Amino acid sequence: MKLERSIAAFARARRAIAGGVNSPVRALGAVGLSPVFMKGGAGSALYDLDGHEYIDYVMSWGALLLGHAYPAVTRAITNAVTRGTSFGTPTEVESELAELVVSMMPSIQRLRFVSSGTEAAMSAVRLARGFTRRPKIVKFAGCYHGHGDAFLISAGSGALTHGVPDSLGITEGTACDTIVLPFNDSAAVERTFRANPDSIAAVIVEPYAGNMGLILPRPGYLQSLRACCTRYGALLVFDEVMTGFRVARGGAQAREGVAPDLTVLGKIIGGGLPAAAFGGRADVMAYLAPDGPVYQAGTLSGNPLAMAAGVATLTAIAADATLYDRLEYTSRQLADGLGAVMQRRGVGHYSSCAGGMFGVFFTTGPVTDLQSAQKSDRVLFAKYFAAMLDRGIYLPPSPFEANFVSSAHTARDVEQTIAAADASLGALLATA
């Protein structure tokens, strides 16, 4: 496949942008390729600079639940932009989006909008520390909560494939206050609380881990985190940046029946524009300035364009009674169909899915944590990624990222994707 224009665009980008990209995984380093520059998208399709069309399973890393350029979202943004792009004052559309979120996620009594998931996670942890007056946080290896200092220790996502799971630039003091435990291990959490009964402010977790591939919690795991936090007076923070509005209208917390104290949201809440939020118990949120002593602020927080896109997105979600059944059906068809192809071709695999996301590991499972995820065959994945790209399928460019579907993905997309996987693996195994 010819990607001449993308290659030229990357050479240009590298002259002015650090590394040529504004987020590391986009560089496609994990699969040894040069990035594909896109010029547009519609529904489930992406179009690159060289004129190729792809079925997209990145969906702006999960932000687009309704597909690219969903008409109601585009209309809402177009209408909003004619009234001005940013005021630095409150606007009513912020309350409109906040009310929608509160109505969909009962554990959120109050929230605060920010511009990115990173900012939301950082702010939630500061708030948890301020509220509990304790220093430490517990996170899980392979979970990713954006690039705030406290989280870049055994982090997932791009940190896993760019050789820096523990980034330089994080002070020893920060690292000391982050306790990293294996995902899905309730006993490790219990032991840690017993050893640090008065110093843990919060446990932060992706309830469905989506940044080391997709790893679902063992039955009872999230409940055990809830119980430990309650017993020891720490806050339970669910990072639902990926899973919020994606695995169910009320996120993973609704599917699992576990109410966190705080929730971190991003991606879908902004309908493809930069918006994120953190929210939860009213007594905890009351600690935030201007009412309380924990400071947090942002010029573009609650930006009217992003709020309008969010309102249009959540309104469409709320009005569609069968949306999550359809998304789960599509994800299941893909996870099972791709698994069947791998089985037939003799490739070790393990798959999982939830709502509008799914994961396929190139290893025989079960995959329950970072250690088991890292058994994935990265070399085979890189070849598979390239072969799928050649056949018009745009996958997340790393074995440790989840795949995302939208309501725009069709049965024909699923069929084409499974056929492409069969042809790709057939060709790869023939030349191996």
389: left (phi over 0), alpha (psi -120 to 50) or beta: alpha
Report the alpha-carbon distance of residue 40 to residue 46 in Å, rounded.
6
CB of 210 to ligand HOZ, least distance (A): 7
Q: What is the 3-state secondary structure (H, E, C) of 125-142?
A: HHHHHHHHCCCEEEEECC
The correct pick among 6, 154, 157, 406 for binding ligand HOZ (CB under 6 A) is: 157
Report the alpha-carbon distance of residue 287 to residue 131 in Å, rounded.
7
The correct pick among 11, 12, 17, 23 for binding ligand HOZ (CB under 6 A) is: 23
CB of 24 to ligand HOZ, least distance (A): 7
Binding mask 387-426 for ligand HOZ (x = CB under 6 A): --------------x-------------------------
The correct pick among 25, 143, 200, 268 for binding ligand HOZ (CB under 6 A) is: 25
Closest CA to 353 of 373, 371, 333: 333
Identity of the residue, 150 or 418, whose beta carbon is nearer to ligand HOZ in the bound complex: 150
Q: Select from 21-29, 88-96, 159-167, 269-277 the region that touches ligand HOZ (CB under 6 A).
A: 21-29
Identity of the residue, 157 or 192, whose beta carbon is nearer to ligand HOZ in the bound complex: 157
177 lies in the binding site for ligand HOZ (CB under 6 A)? no
118 lies in the binding site for ligand HOZ (CB under 6 A)? no
Q: Select from 18-26, 43-51, 333-341, 386-394 the region that touches ligand HOZ (CB under 6 A).
A: 18-26
Report the alpha-carbon distance of residue 409 to residue 323 in Å, rounded.
12
Binding mask 46-75 for ligand HOZ (x = CB under 6 A): ---------------x--------------
Report the alpha-carbon distance of residue 229 to residue 236 in Å, rounded.
6
Spatial contact of 57 and 404, defined as CB atoms under 8 Å apart: yes
Sequence-distant (≥ 6) Cβ neighbours of residue 286 within 8 angstroms? 110, 292
The catalytic site residues sit at: 144, 239, 267
Identity of the residue, 26 or 281, whose beta carbon is nearer to ligand HOZ in the bound complex: 26
115 lies in the binding site for ligand HOZ (CB under 6 A)? no
CB of 156 to ligand HOZ, least distance (A): 7
* Residues contributing to the site for ligand HOZ (CB under 6 A): 23, 25-26, 61, 157, 211, 401
